[in-house]
Structure 1
Amino acid sequence: MEVNIGISKEQRKEIADGLSKVLADSYMLYLKTHNYHWNVTGEHFHSLHEQFEEQYTELAEAIDEIAERIRSLGYRAPGSFREFKEITSIEEDTDHDIKAMEMVRRIAVDNETVLRTARQAVPACDEAGDEASLDLLTQRLDVHSKTAWMLRSHLE
């Protein structure tokens, strides 16, 4: 059945492509944050362990919302690690001996990366009058800017 939500097929495709990039960045950030939650050590272990858990839990919910929005636009949401790796702007972390504050620095940078990716998707939503996608992106901008600020505050 053809999608008929008042947004052209071309506009829906452009929005879905932008959201797919946000989804891939969010998923890679989720994996990295979960990894750090498991492997953080040192004097800030307890607070960072809990902070990372809050962050990856929030990201897990956001990933689902982003994918469902892509589907509601009539497009397939990427869902494999290979697909995510192809479109993400966030580098996979394969280091095994990372100090706690370096973990904090890396995911602060990655939260800012998600912010930039989300900002790039906003104009297409605005031009198409896609308030639902725009609202979703606005929420992501708020969460990632606050998270980046909180993480940067550890480094001062």
Structure 2
Amino acid sequence: MDAKKISLNEKEVKPIVDMLNEYLANYHIHYQKLRGCHWNIKGQNFFTLHVKFEELYTNAQLTIDEIAERVLTLGKPPHSRFQDYIKESSIKEINTIGMSDMALVDAILDDMSELISMERALLVATEEVNDDGSNDMVNRFMQFKEKTTWMLRSFANKK
């Protein structure tokens, strides 16, 4: 399949595919960080955060699949090696073992801020080339993260 088959200009969509692959790389690092937070949470907030981190990594897993399938829809292969994810991701791995519950929440909030920034850039770029499919998908993901950020910040009593 190529972009022309869905009425998009392949040359115009190439930067979108590159941005989506970078976004995919960041999402994979974020996903694994969420898994580490889920596995390694300790303390007073264990029951609350253990469930929340599982909810978030389950959502991230579904999001990753949608991003990869969108890249394929646009006619290109999605990245699929951790080597590529680590190389391209601005979100960095962390060692979640021994981190406090609030430090884990802060790490996830930092990731979400970075992902929202990428989403805003993707929204501008996809709008410029009339890629409504990618735009709608990314907008949905961003809205979920905006609400989740508000909830986590409220949980952590942050302004």
Taking structure 1 as the reference length, the TM-score comes to 0.95
Q: Could you tell me whether the CA contact under 8 Å between 1:19 and 1:118 is conserved in 2?
A: no
Matched, 1:99 2:106: no
Shift of 1:2: 4.6
Q: Which residue identity does 2:130 align to in structure 1?
A: G
Shifted more, 117-126 versus 97-106: the winner is 117-126
Shift of 1:96: 2.5
Matches of 1:138 and 1:45, distance apart in 2: 31
Shift of 1:30: 0.6
Classify 1:2/1:130 alpha carbon distance in 2 versus 1 (closer, same or farther; 3 Å). closer
Aligned residue in 2 for 1:134: 135
Aligned residue in 1 for 2:61: 60
Q: Could you tell me whether the CA contact under 8 Å between 1:109 and 1:148 is conserved in 2?
A: no
Matches of 1:112 and 1:20, distance apart in 2: 18
Matches of 1:123 and 1:2, distance apart in 2: 22
SS at match of 1:75: coil
Q: Could you tell me whether the CA contact under 8 Å between 2:2 and 2:10 is conserved in 1?
A: no
SS at match of 2:116: helix
Aligned residue in 2 for 1:25: 26
SS at match of 1:77: coil
Matches of 2:92 and 2:110, distance apart in 1: 11
Q: Could you tell me whether the CA contact under 8 Å between 1:37 and 1:49 is conserved in 2?
A: yes
Shifted more, 128-137 versus 145-154: the winner is 145-154
Q: Could you tell me whether the CA contact under 8 Å between 2:41 and 2:50 is conserved in 1?
A: yes
Matched, 1:150 2:125: no
Matches of 1:89 and 1:36, distance apart in 2: 19
Identical amino acids, percent of aligned pairs: 33
Q: Which residue identity does 1:24 align to in structure 2?
A: A
Aligned residue in 1 for 2:44: 43
Matches of 1:133 and 1:62, distance apart in 2: 12
Question: Unpaired segments of 5 or more residues in structure 2?
Answer: none
Which deviations, in whole Å up to 9, do the C-alpha atoms of 1:36-89 show, x marking residues without a partner? 101100011001000000000001001000000001101110111111111111
Q: Could you tell me whether the CA contact under 8 Å between 2:71 and 2:78 is conserved in 1?
A: yes
Shift of 1:7: 1.4
